[in-house]
Structures are given as C-alpha cells and as structure tokens.
Chain A
Amino acid sequence: MMKPYISVFKLRISNGLQYRAAALAGIGTQFFFGFMFIMIFEAFYAHTSGTPPMTLAEVITYTWLKQAFLAFIVLWFRDDELFQLITSGNIAYELCRPSGIYGLWYVKLLAQRLASAMLRCFPILILVIFLPEPYGLQLPTDFTSFLLFLATLFVGLLMIVSLSMLIYISVFITMSPAGSLLLFSVFGDFFAGLVIPVPLMPNWMQQIVYVLPFHWTADFPFRVFTGNLSKTEALTGLCIQSIWLVGLIAVGKFAMDRALRRIVVQGG
C-alpha cells in the first residue's frame, strides 16, 4: 500500500540530487548571508547593557543552523509544477491515479526538501564547526539533546510540509499562486523566527508567536540544539508538535477533499 508513495519519494530524491552545481552556488550564498547576519547580531550584542535572553554564541549557532537547514524551514520552497497542474487543468491526470493525491503530493514535497537539504546542509555544517571561535557552530552539550534536536527537526519538517500543502490547496480556490503564497510565507517565516530568533522579540510579540504553529518548525528545534531550551521543555514540545502535525494533516486532507469535489476541469 505504501509502495507508490515510496517510489515517488525515491524518484524525487534522485531528481533533486541532480542539481549539484546549483547547490554549490547556493552554499556560497548562504555562507555569505550567514556571516552577514552574525556580524549584525554581533554588533547589537557588543554594547548591550542587560542580559539578553539568548547568548551571542547561541544566536550564532542558531543562525548557522538556519542557513544549513534552509530547505527544511522556509515556506517559499515551492514546486511550480504542482501549481501548474492546478491552474492548467492537468490535475485531471493526477486524479486518475489510484493513490490518494494528498499523500502523493506530500511525499513529493518532502522528498524535494530532503534532497535539497542533503546537498546543502552537510558542507555548511562541517565547515562551520571548524570556524574560529566566535563564528563557529557550538555543538550541543550532550548526545541526548542532539537526538532530541533531530527528532524535533524531523517533526518540524513534517509540519512545514503540511503547512505548505495548505498553500497548494488554497490555489484550488484562488487559481493564482502568487498572492496566497507570498502572504502566507512572508508572515510564516517571520513567525517561525527566521528574521530574528523568537526569544529576542518583545514579549507581546512572543505571545502571538507561541499561539501559532510556525515557530515549531524552525525556532523550536534550533533552540533545543543550542541548549536554550531544557530537555523536559524539548520533550513536551515534541508532544505539542505531534498534536499540531496530526491536526494540520487532518485539516489539509479535509480541505483537499472538499476542493477536489468542487473542481471543474475545463478540457484543453
């Protein structure tokens, strides 16, 4: 029963791994941006009077993780092919397939993100571990928190895919990907802590952020890695993440079924 999903997944992974030169260029760009963000944070931290809620070393590690796992955490990582399927009416072919469309697209998107991250994250991570003192990546203090990081990052990845599925579903209704994608991703990325880490935001903003699902995808796993969150916090967070994940998938599936029932394919 799982077989078609697994083969779509494999196909997409090997497809994504073809673009090695593009990935290399991407790594260079992400390095540059990483350095730039760190220099800005460093300047802010240089003359601070009180104790900020995150140390500079934590912010630096956070930034590098963000750069390395960009493909896991940004919402705008999109598949134009799927958009074209919807707007051009070729969705009809997809509907003919015997496997569920939600699951199929889900693994497609998941595989794309994994392939892109596999190419990019390891070179970046390895290099930044060996960077000189203030700029380097600080490894977690013990192995358990590293395992917790991997678990939370993975559930976060599943969450981001189910969130981006909602964007694709919204295109069934609006027929134009640009608008909904932009609005959703701009705010999503901000609430996920990609512009500045969530602990550095003012308290009222943090309260808004913690109600929304976005921060579970990036901010939470990264703070588990840096040790900003304790292990018990990480474990309870993992449970909440899973609840969100189940909820998001349920909503996505329901919305997809509704959208597909109303769909009209106009030949051509």
Chain B
Amino acid sequence: MTLYFKYMMLLFKSQMQYRASFLLLTLGQCLTPFTVFAGLYFMFDRFGQLQGWDFYEVALCFAVTQMAFSITECFARGFDTFSSLIVSGNFDRLLVRPRSTVVQVFGSRFEFTRIGRLFLSAVVLIWAVTNINVDWTFLKIVALFFMVASGIVIFTSIFILTASISFWTVQGLEIANIFTDGGREMTQYPLNIYQKWVRRFFTFVIPFGCVNYVPLLFILNRDGYQHPVYALTPLAGVLFLIPCLIVWRIGVRHYRSTGS
C-alpha cells in the first residue's frame, strides 16, 4: 500500500508540471458529462417524467454512476491503457519486480484530471440529495455510500477484465467499451427502463443492478424494497472482482512478451 501511494505522489507531481494543460483538461473533463447531464435535464423539461421516475431520482442515479466511474478512471487508468504496456513489451519490466503485478499496473497511471468529472458529479449529487423527496436515515446514507464504493469496485473489475483480454489479443479491443463506457451510460438511468434482456445482463452477469438499481429503490422507499437488507446489496457487487482477478492471473501466466 505504501508503494501505491508513492507511485501516486510521483505521478501527481509529474502531472502538475504542466499546470495550464492540467487545468484545461480538468475543465474539459468536467464539461463532457455536463453536456450529457444538460441533455438529461432538457429531456425531463420536455417530458416531465421517465416511467414514474422524476428528475431528481434520475439525477441521483446519474451522479452515483458518474462519481464511481470518475474515481475508477482516476485510479485504475493503468488497466484502461494496459494494452500499450503489452504492445511495447514494457510489461516484462513489471514481471521482474518483486511486487504483485496488480499493484504495479494500478500505480502505472493516474489521471488526476478526472477530478473535473468528480467535481461535477459531486455537485449533481448534492443537488439531487437536497431536492429529492426522501427522509434520510442513517441506513440510507450508508446505502448511498455503498452504491458509490461498490460501483468503483465493479468498474475497476471491468477494467481489469478488459486489460486481461489483451494478454491474448495484444491490441486492446474497442468492443470492450461496451462494458466500460456502455455500462456507465446505461447505469445513468434506472435499469427498469430498459428491455428485460439488458436488465438481466447488467444484473446477473455484470452486477450493476445490485449496485445501482436495488439500493436506489431502497433509498426511495419503493414498495417491496423497504427491508434494510436491500441497503447492503451493493456488497454483492464486490464479488464480481474475484472472477476478474482470476482471469487476470491466468492471463499473466499465459503472457508471452512481444519482444521489443
């Protein structure tokens, strides 16, 4: 863990060397979800509601997903750009060091500019939380916290999984975006607005549903979801990390250097 923070400090210092570019990028990162959110706001302005969800409820959903995703991108960027490490053969260097590969890949990249995105999602979150029609209890706050935390774990797991694929394919695959960017776009809205097969896939294969949808129903006090156990469903999402790490291990064992 100390090693990880050392990596982090080093990269932070190096990124701060280009202050103007850093600030501009941060601002840009903040604006991308901003236009998406503006689109969402305009849609509600036009249609009033979305299958029984009102604006602040969806905004909460949006904020939780964006927050989890931006934190993940900030810290797990190394896995996102992992295929370049394979292509250049630099992964060999990681293998000879006496530390776990996972920690080293984590430490290889940090995107601090994602703070812009995080900032925007925090603003939306506060806006939604203060306006939403919910009486906040301790358990609900815990549920909200778990939603973000295990959202981070799931996005990280997906990053690890897609990175492991490049052990076999060498090049990263654009199709993997379906699970990262697609998962993000998808879970910005409550899952029940989608077709059944989509909902099933994103609940049982990739457990976004347990993280995002079910606890949201609990927070909103919807019928049938009032039992406190639903506040803890996000923890089930954490289990997704295990198979992903196993695939990663198999991948590392399978790894053959590209040379150069």
Contacts and interface: CB of A to CB of B under 8 A. Distances in A.
Interface of A: 22, 25-26, 28-29, 32-33, 35-36, 39-40, 43-49, 52, 176, 178-179, 182-183, 186-187, 189-190, 195-196, 200-202, 205
Q: Which 9 A-B pairs have the closest CB atoms?
A: A182-B28, A179-B24, A43-B193, A195-B39, A190-B35, A25-B174, A196-B39, A25-B175, A44-B47
Nearest to B190: A43
B173 A25 contact: yes
Nearest to A181: B28
Given A32-B182, A39-B194, A178 B21 contact: yes
B9 interface: no
Given A26-B174, A36-B182, A179-B21, A187 B47 contact: no
B95 interface: no
Contacts of B36: 195
Interface string B32-56: 1011101100110111111110000
B43 A200 contact: yes
Interface SS, A side: helix
Given A36-B182, A39-B193, A49-B48, A201 B174 contact: no
B42 A202 contact: yes
A199 B27 CA distance: 28
A176 B39 contact: no
B35 A187 contact: yes
A249 B169 CA distance: 43
B31 A200 contact: no
B28 A179 contact: yes
Contacts of A39: 193-195, 198
Nearest to A193: B39
B126 to A, nearest CB: 23
Contacts, number: 94
A178 B25 contact: yes
Given A25-B173, A39-B194, A183 B178 contact: no
B42 A201 contact: yes
B77 to A, nearest CB: 15
A200 B50 CA distance: 15
Contacts of A46: 51
A183 B31 contact: yes
Contacts of A176: 21, 24
A5 B185 CA distance: 41
B177 interface: yes
Interface SS, B side: helix
Contacts of A44: 43, 46-47, 50
Contacts of A190: 35, 38-39
B47 to A, nearest CB: 5
A176 B25 CA distance: 11
B178 A28 contact: yes
B185 to A, nearest CB: 6
B185 A48 contact: no
A52 B46 CA distance: 8
B35 A45 contact: no
Contacts of B198: 35-36, 39
B50 A186 contact: no
B193 A32 contact: no
A29 B177 contact: yes
Nearest to A180: B24
B186 interface: yes
Contacts of A45: 47
B189 interface: yes
A205 B193 CA distance: 27
Given A49-B48, A186-B28, 7 more contacts: A28-B175, A36-B185, A44-B43, A179-B21, A186-B34, A190-B38, A205-B42
A48 B47 contact: yes
Given A29-B177, A29-B178, A200 B46 contact: yes
Given A190-B35, A196-B43, A183 B28 contact: yes
Contacts of B48: 48-49
A36 B24 CA distance: 31
Nearest to B175: A25
A200 B175 contact: no
A40 B39 contact: no
B196 to A, nearest CB: 11
Contacts of B28: 178-179, 182-183, 186
Contacts of B189: 40, 43
A44 B44 CA distance: 8
Nearest to B21: A176
Given A47-B51, A179-B25, A189 B193 contact: no
